[in-house]
Amino acid sequence: MDSGRNMISSAVPLRAAGEGGEHVFLFGGGGGGGFLRGAPVVEAGAADCRRKRPFQLTAHEELQLQLELGDDELGGFDYELHGGQQERTKRRLTAEQVRELELSFEEEKRKLEPERKSELARRLGIAPRQVAVWFQNRRARWKTKQLEQDFDRLRAAHDELLAGRDALLADNNRLRSQVITLSEKLQAKESSALEPEEQPVALQAGAYAPFKQDQLCTETATGGATPAVGYTGGASDSPESYLAGARSPPSSSEDDCGGGDGDGDGCAFFLPDPDALLAAAAAEEDGAQLNNWAWLWSEQQY
DNA sequence: TTGTGTTTTATTGCCTCC
DNA sequence: GGAGGCAATAAAACACAA
């Protein structure tokens, strides 16, 4: 058991005439842990002291106690005269003592071995108990600081994720409207160019219907490249290879929405450049091929 | 000087480990 | 069961504005 716990204790500075003559009045620190928490200070302190050691000692008793516990166990109090009575005052450590303790705290990874404690106490001229208490309080401060830093880091990461998410959503909306416009234009072009009986199956079936939002993805969050939409049919004759000026196709190893755009964001869906697509449609040189893509597109994505 | 907020030093009971 | 760590807390010491 820590000897400090059996030491004289009082929650308030006490000055009362006791039996047996001249008394030393002792300041306890805080207290109030456990069941004493929330209890009136004086009552709690006094009750606790009755259970343990008396909080008032004669000078002789004080000396006896020092011998009994070892002088250094009594902690770092100075004695001052107040109104003719001797009082203990809490003693602050000097800057040099604190510096040594801080060094030790860093070197020993915040733990304090008993031998080290004794050695430090001897060197600094303070009680081993004081060294232990200092380390304990220092650990508490360190922990608080760590918690604050962790909180800051988490908040920064959270803010960053939110910003990325907002950018993606905006990008997604922009792409969606782009695809819708493109689909409508293409459909209008095809309708005007072909007789109804000649219209490709895919167009008749409405394969160019507007796309759902979750079928689209973007790259802007990572690469900032112009977003592109495409299909994952895996055919060698991809739309991009057919349409001049279209974007390069994804690598074949990235299939099944596993990051076909090469940036690892899980996107496997590409749009050719809208202008190139429209140019191809306008040319009508290979309407059947275009229809094939439209069909593949619809098969893959719907 | 004084009131107020913060930091430092210290104690308390409880808990875990050996 | 003792040693030591921890959270909660008290109170002195300190800093600083009004």
**For residue range A16-46, what is the model confidence (pLDDT) as tens digits?**
222 222 333 333 333 333 333 333 333 333 3
Which residue's CA shows the smallest distance to C1' of B15? A34
A142-188: per-residue pLDDT in tens? Answer: 999 998 889 888 999 999 999 999 999 999 999 999 999 999 999 99
Whether CB of A38 is under 7 Å from strand C: the answer is yes
Alpha helical stretches, state H, chain A: 41-51, 59-69, 95-107, 114-124, 128-193, 201-204, 239-242, 274-283, 287-301
Task: State the pLDDT at residue A41.
Answer: 31
CB A130, CB A78: distance < 8 Å:
no
**What confidence category does residue A101 fall into, taking pLDDT thresholds of 50, 70 and 90?**
very high
Which residue's CA shows the smallest distance to C1' of C10? A30
Question: Cα angle vertex A137, ends A132, A140, to 5°?
Answer: 130
The pTM (predicted TM-score) of the whole model is: 0.49
Residue A107 pLDDT exceeds 90: no
Task: State the pLDDT at residue A195.
Answer: 60
Span CA (A27) to C1' (C12), Å: 9
Comparison of pLDDT for A29 and A272, the residue scoring more: A272
**What confidence category does residue A196 fall into, taking pLDDT thresholds of 50, 70 and 90?**
low
Bases in strand B with any atom closer than 7 Å to a protein CB: 8-14
Which nucleotide C1' is nearest A39 CA? Answer: C9
Residue A104 pLDDT exceeds 80: yes
Comparison of pLDDT for A264 and A67, the residue scoring more: A67
**What confidence category does residue A227 fall into, taking pLDDT thresholds of 50, 70 and 90?**
very low
Residues 6 or more apart in contact with residue A293 via CB below 8 angstroms: A231, A239, A242
Residue A256 pLDDT exceeds 50: no
Whether CB of A147 is under 7 Å from strand C: the answer is no
**% residues pLDDT > 70 (chain A):** 34
Whether CB of A31 is under 7 Å from strand C: the answer is yes
Whether CB of A105 is under 7 Å from strand B: the answer is no
Q: How far is CA A275 from CA A192, A211, A228, in A?
A: 19, 18, 12
Chain-centroid distance, C-alpha A273: 40
Span CA (A30) to C1' (B5), Å: 19
**Window 261-300 of chain A: CB closer than 7 A to strand C:** none
Residue in the structure block whose two tokens are 């009508």: A284
Task: State the pLDDT at residue A198.
Answer: 54
Which residue's CA shows the smallest distance to C1' of B10? A29
Whether CB of A27 is under 7 Å from strand C: the answer is yes
Span CA (A155) to C1' (B8), Å: 30
Integer Rg of chain A from CA? 40
Bases in strand C with any atom closer than 7 Å to a protein CB: 2-14
Whether CB of A130 is under 7 Å from strand B: the answer is yes
Q: What is the mean pLDDT of chain A?
A: 57
DSSP run (H or E) holding A77: strand A77-82
Whether CB of A91 is under 7 Å from strand B: the answer is yes
A38-76: per-residue pLDDT in tens? Answer: 333 333 333 333 222 223 333 444 444 444 444 444 444
Comparison of pLDDT for A253 and A196, the residue scoring more: A196
Task: State the pLDDT at residue A279.
Answer: 54
Residue A80 pLDDT exceeds 90: no
**% residues pLDDT > 90 (chain A):** 24
Termini Cα distance of chain A: 73
